[in-house]
Chains A and B, each alone.
Chain A
Amino acid sequence: MKLKIIIFFILLNINSIKAENLKANKNEIFKNIRCLICQGQSVADSNSEFAQTIKLVINDQINEGKSEKEIYIFLVEKYGEWIVYKPPFSKTNFLLWTLPYLVFLIGGFVIFFIVRKNKEN
């Protein structure tokens, strides 16, 4: 019975899976790049000189066919990691991405053991 429900659920959502678009999304990228001369704004939200220039260059690169990842690598090479809001998954950022899920798993185990200890009682 449970299996039937799961299959039904997946079938119903097939149409959404094809909705993922493959073109590098301009707005998504703008929202991920920090405006270096502003106090905590992305280039999407800023109209400073720097923001305008960067948006121009990113537009150029999208039109050349560069992928989102390539654009980020380019910008990080020129400006350092601070310019992207989504920290790339590297050695230094490993802890950042894994610690939350680690905590989640540990929490799950804790509850599991508390509750299980009682089944045995």
Chain B
Amino acid sequence: MGIKIIKLLTFVIVLFIISVFFISLNKSSFYNTKVLEGQKISGINLNHFSEDRTIIEKDLKKNNFTLINFWASWCGPCRLEHPFLLKLKSEKKLNIIGVNFKDKKSNAINFLKELGNPYNELAKDEFGRQSINFGIYGIPESILINKDLVILKKFIGPISKKDYNFIKNVIKKK
């Protein structure tokens, strides 16, 4: 009797393990922080780019939607997403905050002069400290939050046309 139980148990465990392996073949092994969507952001303390003040949570709560975009003049893909950011600037419900990441002030200003300034507010993150508070691990990266500071979507890499349409749809709803 004891042997029968062990036999059954063994078969069940083996089948279970094999099925899990089969299912896992379809899953991607690349990690992204999309798991954080739905959480609130916190600990916000962004230095303004040119003025001597900081942007904190209270400031962000004033807007219906905010898109926080991390960029730098030395970042190639940032140029790809710039046209979409410029288009989004005209959206009244959306406030775009640009965070200049580990960059030289003059280079950043030249970059915006060359490609246009899509940002309602400009902040700087000289050593990257603030990026960690937003869960950023590469640039460009953008976060869409609502009035309650809940992360609606994380955009890893440059904003594509699909992302642009997604943002437009979301802000239309409210």
Q: Which residues of A contact B (CB under 8 A)?
A: 36-37, 49-50, 52-54, 56-57, 60, 77-80, 82
Contact = CB atoms under 8 A, between A and B. Distances in A.
A57 B35 contact: no
A115 to B, nearest CB: 19
Contacts of B62: none
A36 B129 contact: no
B157 to A, nearest CB: 12
Interface residues of B, number: 16
Q: Tell me the dominant secondary structure on chain A's binding face.
A: helix
Contacts of B137: 36-37, 50, 79
B31 A53 contact: no
A55 B36 CA distance: 21
B35 A53 contact: no
A93 to B, nearest CB: 16
A52 B33 CA distance: 19
Contacts of B39: 77
B138 A79 contact: no
Interface in B95-131: 102, 127-129, 131
Given A78-B133, A79-B135, A36 B128 contact: no
B113 to A, nearest CB: 25
A56 B138 contact: no
Contacts of B36: 78-80
Nearest to A78: B135
B138 A57 contact: no
Contacts of A79: 33, 36, 135, 137
B82 to A, nearest CB: 20
A54 B133 CA distance: 10
Q: Select the residue from A52, A56, A60, A79 with max chain B CB neighbours within 10 A.
A: A79
Contacts of B133: 78
